[in-house]
Amino acid sequence: MAPGFHFSPQISAVLLVFLALLSFADGGRLLVVPMDGSHWLSMRAVLDELRHKGHEIVIVAPEINVHVKASENYVMKTYPVPFTKAELEGHFLAFTQEIFEERPFLERFVRLRERLKNTSTLLLATCTHLLYNKELIRYLEGSQFDAVFTDPFMPCGQIIAEYLSIPSVFFLRGIPCGLDYKALQCPNPPSYVPRLLTTNTDHMTFPQRVKNLLFSLLEILLCDFVYAPYAKLASEFLRREITVTELLSHGSVWLMRFDFVIDYPRPLMPNIVIIGGITCAQKELSQEFESIVNVSGEHGFVVFSLGSMVSEIPMKKAKQIAEAFGTIPQTVLWRYTGEAPPNLANNTKLIKWLPQNDLLAHPKARAFITHGGSHGIYEGICNGVPMVLMPLFGDQMDNAKRIESRGAGVTLNVLEMTSKDLSDALNAVINDKSYKENIMRLSALHLDRPVHPLDLAVYWVEFVMRHKGAQHLRPAAHDLNWIQYHSLDVIAFLLAVVLVTMFISLKCCLFCCRKCFCKKGRVSKSRKSKAE
Amino acid sequence: MAPGFHFSPQISAVLLVFLALLSFADGGRLLVVPMDGSHWLSMRAVLDELRHKGHEIVIVAPEINVHVKASENYVMKTYPVPFTKAELEGHFLAFTQEIFEERPFLERFVRLRERLKNTSTLLLATCTHLLYNKELIRYLEGSQFDAVFTDPFMPCGQIIAEYLSIPSVFFLRGIPCGLDYKALQCPNPPSYVPRLLTTNTDHMTFPQRVKNLLFSLLEILLCDFVYAPYAKLASEFLRREITVTELLSHGSVWLMRFDFVIDYPRPLMPNIVIIGGITCAQKELSQEFESIVNVSGEHGFVVFSLGSMVSEIPMKKAKQIAEAFGTIPQTVLWRYTGEAPPNLANNTKLIKWLPQNDLLAHPKARAFITHGGSHGIYEGICNGVPMVLMPLFGDQMDNAKRIESRGAGVTLNVLEMTSKDLSDALNAVINDKSYKENIMRLSALHLDRPVHPLDLAVYWVEFVMRHKGAQHLRPAAHDLNWIQYHSLDVIAFLLAVVLVTMFISLKCCLFCCRKCFCKKGRVSKSRKSKAE
């Protein structure tokens, strides 16, 4: 026997697992490819928590961006992009200004489509400049990451995961054209799962179901329009043909920011982890805001914000809103960076930045006026504050519909509403007991969960890092084509067998009958001749 | 203003929720309608935990049963049934004896079918005697339960939940004929979700997919055969027409005893909670067993049990097995109540009852010979012990296939195997490193979860008790019929629209062409006549 230590196979196996876990105990290395905008704000919470758990985090972001900023919690690697800060901000400003412009529907639609195309081009250019930044890619190649953490809304992170052959965790609210469920091989019946922008609920009339099915067909076109360029880019970069669906199907775990307290129950897959309400952490209000809300007296206060992207609106609209605020006894905290409307009442404070969740958590918060972004509505639910919703674009109309259909808020059309509409809506949600009761019921359900969504998100990122993916959660459906998945080949085969069997049986019967009748014929004939 | 206390609507709502939670803090009242057999053993663990959390538990069980016994942890309400203890035990004994009888396939099948029919009749009689026990039902009506906790394998518990109008939590491994997923409205594609008794994996060849589809059609017949009498019973008892699918669709939360570490990834619904491995709690081995396993030396020991239902086997088979055990150096702990085979080797100990999980958790456990019941295989995985599987009936063949397809065990046909087969299989799983490595990998994945399945089960039972159900997790699919669910009406409508449009367009074209050609015809005719 050769000299040295020898262990039984069992002890070796246990030791191997133990050593693997030990090497991980120091913390792993996570590569993050974020999306800019409000998507980033909730992702950052997960990253901060991961950093506290000892992981090294490297963020790859364009030099020019709106929200993604350096922090002591992570290493920031930036890359140049072919646009300036002013151009980017101008782009977003124009986008939000257009929402408030009163134009004929068709013109609005064409302009919006144009703007979407521009955004799409901007994102694609960003991705291309990342992938073809040789120095950065060389750095990533040499960095031994355990996993990629990314928002698949822009599939750039997954292209890199694929290139580096490391597993990935997705963090998203959803992909607008249903690509998420397609890539997950998750059933998505249009009969009761409402499609984006339809403002359908899960209980639809026949015309609504027709609309929903048509929208789900349109989604395919939209997906192709937005994501086909990424397929081309990925295929070139990875030097093999790949579709965006296939690319995204390799995501190990999908952390999805929804919750069935508001979103409609639907089929799921084992690698979907639901983390709606992740940004709702109970923190104490700062002294500055505490003193503002405390002077609001017994009537309490109202929080008004149109989200991180819209901080100012046209003066005409601002005046209308200010007029409505003047009619209610509550103090209003309005997140606004634009010029103050001249008719601003004494009860209304314009503030450049609001600690939104902490304000909503205050017992004196009476109502929340929001654009219906997913972060906002979950903060409203979490803190049990009834809402007035002014949806502007994207999934906001659908979010608003969800809150309204649960009797926890009132939706207004921001373009068409009058001062009185807003003041009536505020009076309703503040004084009609049913809104508060409904939101409190939703809140109780939402907060009653075995693990906080933030901890759950952190857990699953670490899980993928520890186990180098989550292959055991990947359904075999990914290895079937459309015909096989729907068993169409099997059904065709079984039908053929049935038809052939029926045909042969029929032929046999006919043959027997003919034999029988012929015999009879001959018999009767011979009898006949005998009789003659 | 009328005298008395007055609160603002907000404070009233908060107070209401607070009072509701406060009244629950003392503990709720849970009605349990269990299934006998191994199903009960894991359910008991949840009940013990719920009792420790202060809930009052009332169990309703037949006077005559195998495993459900009184305990200080719960109130036991029994009801008379039309069979004796001896009859019940005789029934199970005959069932297990038949498994080991070598008969022609067809005869075995006919006898097994007969035996299944008898079991079915026995269960139905039990349910009928519960529902028509007036005294017991009166007691239940007056008892103010918060929820029913039941195994829907026998839908009796849900009939009572329906009768008392209280929510229910289901606790199950599955319902053999796919009724579970049908009642959940959960997609169940036969192209990659293997059906019971097919021993298919999730990756199937074309013939296997044909078999799988045929089995999923057969399941419908099986469901009808087994569950139609319950629909009749429920309709009579509840005095309204109800199917078993509809009955079970009212289950608020389904605690399902599987885990994707072994079971194949498949679509889920929001009210499915996965709790596979619930019986695997790390406990210390008793002194008695500790001393037995410690004498096993460096070779360690093997655990052999065929489950709670099979404690003895025919002498011929027992001798064969004893012979195989004589060839391995490990100590064997064999759970056996029958007569000791004469060729029993010194290394084999026959024991009437084994602390199975605690033995498997011992570092000297080298292999686990099991019938492949779901509890057993999860205890094997949890403790990382490679397995030799001898499936006997029901889902055991499928469980064995799952372990084998993961390279964590070897399956033997208990009827056809020889002594050498068993001894070879044991040598393989003990000495071939790959089996240990594979089971350790599965174990590491299985144990890596944010909440222990037992805590998760307890959490969701309490959730349903707290919130009087989980209506927000119920998909709208339940309100659609088959045609609507599959959007067949919408597709037919859209096809009709397309066809009518095409027809009208064609008619228009034809009309225009005819007009055109006629004109030309007339023109050329007139020209012609002019030319003449």
Query: Where is pLDDT greater, at B350 or A522?
Result: B350
Shortest CA gap B366–chain A (Å): 8
Which whole number is the average pLDDT over B117-141? Answer: 93
pLDDT at A16: 45
Res. A437 pLDDT band, cuts 50 70 90: very high
Largest separation between any pair of C-alpha atoms in chain B: 126
pLDDT at B117: 82
Radius of gyration of chain A (CA): 30
pLDDT at B524: 54
Does A205 contact chain B (CB < 8 Å)?
Answer: no
A260 and A298 co-located in one domain: no
- Final residue of a structural domain among B447, B470, B490: B447
pLDDT at A3: 38
Shortest CA gap A130–chain B (Å): 34
Asked if residue B370 has pLDDT above 90, the reply is: yes
Over residues B283-308, the pLDDT tens digits come to: 788 888 888 888 888 899 999 998 87
Which whole number is the average pLDDT over B436-460? Answer: 96
Asked if residue A280 has pLDDT above 50, the reply is: yes
Asked if residue A23 has pLDDT above 90, the reply is: no
**In a domain? residue B54:** yes
The reply to whether residue A10 touches residue B494, judged by beta carbons under 8 angstroms, is no
How much of chain B exceeds pLDDT 70, in percent? 92
Res. A283 pLDDT band, cuts 50 70 90: confident
Residues of B in contact with A475 (CB under 8 A): 192, 202, 264-267
The residue whose two tokens read 């209003």 is: A332
Asked if residue A523 has pLDDT above 90, the reply is: no
- Final residue of a structural domain among A479, A496, A523: A479
Which whole number is the average pLDDT over A467-487? Answer: 97
Q: Are A150 and A32 in contact (CB under 8 A)?
A: yes
Over residues B234-261, the pLDDT tens digits come to: 999 999 999 999 999 999 999 999 999 9
Interface of A with B in 433-472 (CB under 8 A): 433, 436-437, 440-441, 444-445, 448, 450-451, 455-456, 459, 463, 466-467, 472
Asked if residue A369 has pLDDT above 50, the reply is: yes
A241 and A389 co-located in one domain: no
**In a domain? residue A315:** yes
Nearest-by-CA chain B residue for A458: B450
Does A192 contact chain B (CB < 8 Å)?
Answer: yes
Residues of A in contact with B366 (CB under 8 A): 10
Which of B432, B450, B480 lies at the smallest CB-CB distance from A459?
Answer: B450
CA distances from A64 to A69, A116, A311 (A): 10, 19, 20
Three-state SS string over B488-504 comes to HHHHHHHHHHHHHHHHH
Q: CA B173 to CA B276: how far, in whole Å?
A: 8
How much of chain B exceeds pLDDT 90, in percent? 67
Which whole number is the average pLDDT over A56-62? Answer: 96
Shortest CA gap B97–chain A (Å): 36
B46 and B96 co-located in one domain: yes
CA trace torsion B109, B111, B114, B120 (10° rounding): -80
pLDDT at B522: 56
**In a domain? residue B419:** yes
B206 and B303 co-located in one domain: no
Q: Of the candidates B300, B315, B316, B309, which has an alpha carbon nearest to the alpha carbon of residue B335? A: B309
pLDDT at B294: 85
A380 and A258 co-located in one domain: no
Q: In chain B, how many domains are there?
A: 2
Asked if residue A522 has pLDDT above 70, the reply is: no
Pull the structure tokens for residue B246: 């509809």
Asked if residue B335 has pLDDT above 70, the reply is: yes
Asked if residue A259 has pLDDT above 80, the reply is: yes
Which whole number is the average pLDDT over B404-428? Answer: 94
Q: Are B142 and B121 in contact (CB under 8 A)?
A: no
Asked if residue A9 has pLDDT above 80, the reply is: no
pLDDT at B297: 85
**In a domain? residue B506:** no
A189 and A257 co-located in one domain: yes
B231: Cβ contacts below 8 Å, ≥ 6 apart: B242, B243, B244, B247
**In a domain? residue B155:** yes
Shortest CA gap A436–chain B (Å): 6
Shortest CA gap B450–chain A (Å): 7
**In a domain? residue A5:** no
How much of chain A exceeds pLDDT 70, in percent? 92
Q: CA B150 to CA B68: how far, in whole Å?
A: 13
Q: CA B439 to CA A9: how far, in whole Å?
A: 13
Res. B313 pLDDT band, cuts 50 70 90: confident
B297: exposed, middle or buried (C-beta count within 10 Å: 0-12, 13-18, 19+)?
exposed
pLDDT at B523: 53
Give the number of beta-carbon pairs within 8 Å between A and B. Answer: 188
Asked if residue A394 has pLDDT above 90, the reply is: no
Does A299 contact chain B (CB < 8 Å)?
Answer: no
Asked if residue A4 has pLDDT above 60, the reply is: no
* CATH number, residue B423: 3.40.50.2000
Res. A528 pLDDT band, cuts 50 70 90: low
Q: CA A115 to CA A122: how far, in whole Å?
A: 10
Does A518 contact chain B (CB < 8 Å)?
Answer: no
Res. A12 pLDDT band, cuts 50 70 90: very low
ipTM of the complex: 0.89
Asked if residue B77 has pLDDT above 70, the reply is: yes
Residues of A in contact with B437 (CB under 8 A): 13, 16
Res. A2 pLDDT band, cuts 50 70 90: very low
Res. A517 pLDDT band, cuts 50 70 90: confident
Res. A157 pLDDT band, cuts 50 70 90: very high
Nearest-by-CA chain A residue for B445: A467
Mean residue pLDDT across chain A: 89
**Using the 8-state DSSP alphabet, how is residue A252 labeled?**
S
Interface of A with B in 329-388 (CB under 8 A): 366, 384
**In a domain? residue A29:** yes
Asked if residue A261 has pLDDT above 90, the reply is: yes
CA trace torsion A81, A86, A88, A90 (10° rounding): -160
pLDDT at A108: 74
Interface of B with A in 71-130 (CB under 8 A): none
Interface of B with A in 208-247 (CB under 8 A): 209-210, 213-214
Nearest-by-CA chain B residue for A263: B472
Does B51 contact chain A (CB < 8 Å)?
Answer: no
B247 and B363 co-located in one domain: no
Which whole number is the average pLDDT over B118-147? Answer: 94
Asked if residue B529 has pLDDT above 60, the reply is: no
The reply to whether residue B437 touches residue A13, judged by beta carbons under 8 angstroms, is yes
pLDDT at B314: 85
CA distances from B10 to A328, A360, A400, B363 (A): 17, 14, 22, 59
B20: Cβ contacts below 8 Å, ≥ 6 apart: none
What is the domain range of residue A360? 287-447
Which whole number is the average pLDDT over A48-68? Answer: 94
B159 and B138 co-located in one domain: yes
Over residues B19-54, the pLDDT tens digits come to: 444 445 568 999 999 998 888 988 999 999 999 999
pLDDT at B475: 97
B239 and B328 co-located in one domain: no
- DSSP for B60-103? EEESS-SS---BTTBEEEEE--SS-HHHHHHHHHHHHHHHH---
Res. B4 pLDDT band, cuts 50 70 90: very low
Which whole number is the average pLDDT over A368-379? Answer: 93
A346 and A390 co-located in one domain: yes
pLDDT at A51: 95
Over residues B449-491, the pLDDT tens digits come to: 999 999 999 999 999 999 999 999 999 999 999 999 999 999 9
**In a domain? residue B17:** no
Which of A10, A480, A494 lies at the smallest CB-CB distance from B210?
Answer: A494
A90 and A175 co-located in one domain: yes
pLDDT at B136: 97
B392 and B466 co-located in one domain: no
Of A445-449, B198-202, B272-276, the one with minimum mean pLDDT is: B198-202
